[in-house]
Each structure stands twice: as C-alpha cells, then as structure tokens.
Amino acid sequence: AIIARTSFAIDGRKKVLQQKLTTVRGNPIISGMCDMWQGRNIRVPKLKPTLLGCDIIKVEYALLIYLHIPGSEKLTLE
C-alpha cells in the first residue's frame, strides 16, 4: 500500500491524518514455494505537492508491505 501521512502543527499542537492511496495484492503462496514480484506494477496516483518550505504542514509518503501468514501470531522479521 502507498500511504500519505499529513501532519498539521500549530501552537504546540499536532494533528496527523493518514490516507491509503493505493493497494496491490499478490497471489497466495503454497507452503514451501516462493514468488517474485518482477514485472508487476504498483500504480502511483498523482500526488499533491509536499509544500516545501511550509512550517505548519508536512506531507510524507510511504510504501507499506504487509504479510499475512496463517498460524504465525508471533512472527518477527530480522
């Protein structure tokens, strides 16, 4: 998923809004198999300007990768 995180800061107070811009989902992978994302595209939507030089509004964009592995409640990535 690509997310936009917009922070507003004024008079010592801060408010953060987060919006999911787009998502892509891959095919399930059978245990013991692997998959590669070569040639698959993640469409990046037209983005708002980042307001360079603005002290009260900050816009950040991030790429989030989620894994859902059934039966792995305490999974850690190293």
The answer to whether residue 72 is domain-embedded is: no
Q: Strands of the chain (E only): list them.
A: 2-10, 13-22, 57-63
The answer to whether residue 71 is domain-embedded is: no
Q: What is the percent of the chain with per-residue pLDDT over 70, rounded to a whole number?
A: 86
**Residues 40-53 pLDDT 10s:** 778 777 766 666 67
The pLDDT value given to residue 77: 55
The answer to whether residue 51 is domain-embedded is: yes
Residue 25 belongs to domain spanning: 2-63
**Is the whole model's pTM more than 0.75, yes or no?**
no
The number of folded domains in the chain is 1
More confident residue, 43 or 21: 21
pLDDT at 60 over 80: yes
The answer to whether residue 40 is domain-embedded is: yes
The answer to whether residue 70 is domain-embedded is: no
Dist CA 64 CA 21 (whole Å): 11
